[in-house]
Chain A
Amino acid sequence: MATMTDQGGWPSGGDQPVSAPLLSIEGLRTMVSSRRDSFDVVRGLSLDIYPNEVLCLVGESGCGKSITALSIMRLLPNPPVRVREGKIRFRGEDLLRLSGKRMRSIRADSISMIFQDPLTSLDPVFTVGDVIVEVIRAHRDVSKDEARRLAGDALAKVGLPDPISRLGSYPHQLSGGMRQRVMIAMALVLDPDILIADEPTTALDVTVQAQILDQLVTEQRERNMAMLLITHDLAVVAAVADRVAVMYAGEIVEQAPVDELFEDPRHPYTQGLLRALPKVSATRRRLDPIPGLVPSLQMMPPGCAFAPRCPHALDRCWNEQPELATDPDGRVFRCFNPQPFAG
């Protein structure tokens, strides 16, 4: 399904973007500090999000995907996690330097976020209606009744059955899928420009996952909104992404339009990820896991972060860190010794 959107910032085929990025992250470094030591979990990440696109951020758990998202929203659990350096530009402002008040006015109104576990992410002692009304009234000068009407509309729009009476429900009275729809309604009620969805389907039943994903894509299309979808599930990526950024150990190792990435991945880590997908159609039915373990962020190899697991690592890979660069084909990845992909 949807591999591209024509009105998107990135037309298919991997040309240069036609419009300016909506949000751009430049050299983001986010660190965790404890009494014993401190280390970066996001290590100089740069990423642009264009209007109307679905950008998927992919990587194994612990690679810094969620921390990146929370850095954008300025919702890092500080202490122990905080942004050390970098810029996050949005509409001519650097989000990292805004006042708390200005940042609050951007949240939900311009940039919204939905989280992984919809049960723990909703306040258990308030009705979902109360909370959505509060979010609306934090940004818009409307009466309670008006806000309640808007909240009801939002719930109806995300496909919650019987939305008006659901306004009076507590989270524990809803199923997992319904809770996630409530989260989506809350995130979209003010029509934001960007929706950040952090593993929105991971905690749900498989059957519900597809429905929620479908809902998200529908909303993204109808609202002409950009979506940053964080996931570790390549099937989800194939289904919804326009563009993909692959993260490994706190940095981006490759980014490409979704077709190119799946057809011709350049970075050995991306290649490994694709090779690890179960291939039902293939004659040999076996999984090809990437050997080795994700490095501990407290103890990184001196050169390329992927070198210890890479089948093609050179001497140089052990000594020098490759930059994220664009090759003559216009492909963007971080590798000294790219090899052709043999799926």
Chain B
Amino acid sequence: MADGTRTHLETWNLQLAEFEENQRVGPVRAALGRMRRNKLLLLGSVLGLAVLGTGLFGPIISGADPTYQSFSATLLPPGSEGHLLGTDHLGRDLAVRVFIGIRVSLMVAAGVTVLSLALGLVLGMFGGFLGGWKDRMIRGTVDFVWGFPLILVAVLFAGGLGEGLFPVILAVGLVNTAAIARVVRGEVLALSEREFVEAARAGGLSTSRIMWRHLFPNILAPALVLASYYVAVAIIAEAALSFIGLGAQPPTPSLGGMVSDGRNYLQHNVPELGQVGHWGATIPGITILLLVLAVSLIGDGLRDVFDPRLRHEAKGVDEE
């Protein structure tokens, strides 16, 4: 009987082990699986690459001058000879201007991201790790900036520094810095209570060493995910500000400015056509839409794959 029992138990344990093996999914495979299942990320990446590629290589392929005006070829509709997307009211080729406009948008987004990520990481990490009055100071400043509407800040900066892309980058960058610093600080506080940081402290490691060797690597991923989310915010803000005339200044083609140029013909007839012409506004407008969509899809997808917890922060839920 003893033998029989052992066989039963052994068989059972083997079955159980097999079952558990089937249930188990490794962390890498799980992340890959989520990424593969995440159609949004895929769609966003494809779209993003397409828009990015157009922005980077379009001007090279086309070779046309985005500021070349031709008063004999104003307001040509899309599909006209030599002008794939038509021309604007000054006869400038819309396709080339859209290409350059994408570049401008991405340049602003890059500037904003670098600024906000660097500053946000530093402020958040110092605040969260040092604590005390330094943390309160940093937190007070960050909360103050965070509570401010982006557009108002940008208009104020334009008032102080004059119109142009630099104040836009600065304003959007600072507001996004606050958002990133808040999340980073929260992460640092959470990490500080974990064993490995406690152990590092108990082991007598210096503050800066703990921060850079132990905290930084753990915080970089969520911060990057969050920053990708704010890229869309930066693109929209730049477009809106250029639209009202406070962003990129002529002759720099900016998507927002182009929409503004084209808006008159949404309501007024194009002389040659005898009816309203939408393309001057819709083509750059749709480009902005696609750009924002691509960036948001990539940001959302990255967030889902790497850090589902960040959903709340990205929406701005304030955990007190």
Contacts and interface: CB of A to CB of B under 8 A. Distances in A.
- Touch between chains A and B, by CB atoms below 8 Å: yes
B19 A296 contact: yes
Contact of B8 (A295, A299, A315): A315
Interface secondary structure of A, over-half rule? loop
Interface stretch (B9-17, B133-141, B197-205): B9-17
Interface string A302-343: 000001100001110010000000000000000000000000
B27 interface: no
Nearest to B12: A308
A177 to B, nearest CB: 26
A315 B15 contact: no
B12 A313 contact: no
Contacts of B13: 308
B20 to A, nearest CB: 8
A301 interface: yes
Interface string A211-232: 0000000000000000000000
A299 B5 contact: no
Interface string A285-300: 0000000000110110
Contact of A315 (B1, B12, B16, B19): B1
Contacts of A313: 5, 8-9
B1 A299 contact: no
Contacts of A307: 8, 12
A313 B23 CA distance: 28
Nearest to B13: A308
Nearest to A37: B23
A35 to B, nearest CB: 12
Interface in B103-142: none
A314 B6 CA distance: 10
A298 to B, nearest CB: 8
B262 to A, nearest CB: 48
B4 interface: yes
A299 B14 CA distance: 12
Contacts of A301: 12
A79 to B, nearest CB: 20
B25 to A, nearest CB: 11
A318 B15 contact: no
A313 B13 CA distance: 15
A299 B19 CA distance: 8
A279 B19 CA distance: 37
Interface string A54-74: 000000000000000000000
Contacts of B23: 298
Nearest to B4: A315
Interface in A259-305: 295-296, 298-299, 301
A299 B5 CA distance: 19
Contacts of A296: 16, 19
A295 B16 CA distance: 9
Contacts of B5: 313-315
A314 B1 contact: yes
Contacts of B16: 295-296, 299
A299 B4 contact: no
B9 A299 contact: no
B8 A318 contact: yes
A318 B16 CA distance: 14
A301 B8 CA distance: 10
Given A296-B19, A299-B16, A308 B9 contact: yes
Contacts of A315: 1, 4-5, 8
A318 B9 CA distance: 9
B15 to A, nearest CB: 7
A298 B13 CA distance: 15
Contacts of B12: 301, 307-308, 318
Contacts of B19: 296, 298-299
A47 B9 CA distance: 31
Between A299, A307, A314, the greatest number of chain B beta carbons within 10 A of the residue's beta carbon is seen for A299
Nearest to B16: A299
A315 B16 CA distance: 18
B157 to A, nearest CB: 40
B265 to A, nearest CB: 52
A256 B12 CA distance: 31
Contacts of B4: 315
Nearest to B18: A299
A221 B4 CA distance: 51
Interface in A176-215: none
Nearest to A310: B5
A140 B14 CA distance: 59
B134 to A, nearest CB: 30
Contacts of B9: 308, 313
A301 B9 CA distance: 10
A318 B13 CA distance: 13
18 contacts: A296-B16, A299-B15, A299-B16, A299-B19, A307-B8, A307-B12, A308-B9, A308-B12, A308-B13, A313-B8, A314-B1, A314-B5, A315-B1, A315-B4, A315-B5, A315-B8, A318-B8, A318-B12
Interface of A: 295-296, 298-299, 301, 307-308, 313-315, 318
Given A307-B8, A313-B9, 9 more contacts: A295-B16, A296-B19, A298-B19, A299-B15, A313-B5, A313-B8, A314-B5, A315-B4, A318-B8
- The 7 A-B residue pairs with the shortest CB-CB distance, nearest first, are A318-B8, A299-B19, A315-B4, A308-B12, A313-B5, A301-B12, A308-B9
